[in-house]
Amino acid sequence: MTDVLSLLPPGRPGLLADVPPGACEDLAHYLATGGCAPLPAPGRLVDRIAAAGLRGRGGAGFPTAVKLRTVRDAPGGPPVVVANGEEGEPGSVKDRWLLWHRPHLVLDGLRLAAAMTGAARGYVYLSDDLAEHAVRQALAERKVPAGRQALALRQASAEWAPEVPVDVVRTERTYVAGEETAVVRRIDGGPALPTAKPPRPFESGVGGAPTLVANVETLARIAALHTHPESAAAIAGTHLVTLSGAGGTPALVEAPAGTHLKTLADLSGHGRARAVVLGGLFGGLYGAGWSDLRLDHEELAAAGGALGCGALHFLHPDDCPVAAATDAAGWLAAQSARQCGVCVSGTSALARALTAVARGEADGTTVANLERWSRQLPGRGACGLIDAAARMVATLLTHYPERIEAHRSSPCPPCTAAPPATHRYTVAVP
């Protein structure tokens, strides 16, 4: 069972608030809490988003206002906007939770994104049965007479950002299916696999049109920021994070930027943890000193990690960091799109070498190869999968050189006593 918790001060608007446990918010409730507010000037909302410092929540943390303006100003006809709910990171549940429980919040963010970019069509891209059901039900609510009437009453007092036609596109859940070019490729009828760049979606996306591919939490924060402009900076600086690990309770937590990772660990029963895998598998492994880090893009990047999608996996005293890195590398190698030769060979080589270390079978060149590959492989694939595998290895080498050396001299009991835990990082959606 995954807990849903909030660290926000009383009265501060949050994405996890106002929804009874297990419920899916309907249109009437969303409107009653201020949702679907009129938008007198789309450009002013873009400026407010820029001033608040909102960053994308899909992993890269790119400034949202920059993406909006780039798509708005791109040549090539009316843009397309996409709510990206394909949560390929195994340790993250935030996007599916939002689609399951707050689909109107996401759709409102999509409406506002369409108004700010001048888009004429929208898509919700997902890979989950319950998410698809909730989104289709929410779309139907907005089309039936009662829903149309309620929306019409809300828009009567000001210029309205109209509802754009929205289609739902289903895909298979894989690590690479949520990469922005894979999203475009799948919506256009192809496989959910990344393509070479350029062009990027903002240049030529769905049907060749400039396309905004926005994570569903990003869109939800746009909607919340518009509904509560007085709290714009606080909303933009708050994160949904997924906490997991063998020694505590998995949790989805809404926390302000700057929250210490130790606070999050204590909240979910991971206070005894000795290390943390940061930002999902992309952020790498952090050992001694992890508890001093804070929920902050720049601080985590300076420490050699990344906030990514906000998934944090804690390693406890009995967990072996070599085993955790080996499991991650093996999972990533299996998830390769098998389009880029360097990714197929590189991720497989990293996984094999780490497996040899974990089993106490590494020879004299294994560690040297891991060090060389972790430096040379990043940036050489069409997506970030190979970067994630290389960062996991690089951070293991940085934080646990003595553990690697100990594995070379004798087998590690935790590593050899059990088969690889390929689902170590998987968390159930609350």
Task: Give the pLDDT band of residue 161 (cuts 50, 70, 90).
Answer: low
Q: Which amino acid does the sequence have at 413? A: P
Count of domains for the chain: 3
Picking from 236, 257, 288, the residue at the C-terminal end of a domain is 236
What phi, psi does 186 have (nearest 5°)? -70, -45
Mean pLDDT of the chain: 90
Task: Give the pLDDT band of residue 282 (cuts 50, 70, 90).
Answer: confident
Residue 355 belongs to a domain with what CATH number?
A: 1.20.1440.230
**Helix %, strand %, coil % of the chain (to 5):** 45, 10, 40
SS3 30: helix
Please check whether residues 273 and 364 belong to one and the same domain: no
Domain containing 257: what range?
Answer: 238-315
- Predicted confidence at residue 153, as pLDDT, reads 67
Judge if pTM exceeds 0.85. Answer: yes
Token pair, residue 96, equals 């599916």
- Domain assignment present for 3: no
Nearest to 291 by CA among 319, 311, 263, 316: 263
Please check whether residues 231 and 243 belong to one and the same domain: no
CA distance 420 to 25: 39
Mean pLDDT calculated for residue range 214-227? 97
pLDDT tens, position by position, 71-83: 999 998 899 999 9
pLDDT tens, position by position, 332-346: 988 887 888 888 888
Please check whether residues 202 and 128 belong to one and the same domain: yes
Residue 245 belongs to a domain with what CATH number?
A: 3.10.20.600
Please check whether residues 413 and 332 belong to one and the same domain: yes
The owner of tokens 């949050």 is 14
Q: Which of 77-86, 282-291, 298-307, 328-337 has the largest mean confidence?
A: 77-86
Tell me the residue length of the chain: 430
Residue 66 belongs to a domain with what CATH number?
A: 3.40.50.11540
Picking from 214, 236, 258, the residue at the C-terminal end of a domain is 236
- Domain assignment present for 290: yes
Nearest to 259 by CA among 227, 237, 287, 283: 237
- Domain assignment present for 422: no
SS3 388: helix
Please check whether residues 286 and 379 belong to one and the same domain: no
- Predicted confidence at residue 158, as pLDDT, reads 46
Task: Give the pLDDT band of residue 417 (cuts 50, 70, 90).
Answer: low
Task: Give the pLDDT band of residue 210 (cuts 50, 70, 90).
Answer: very high
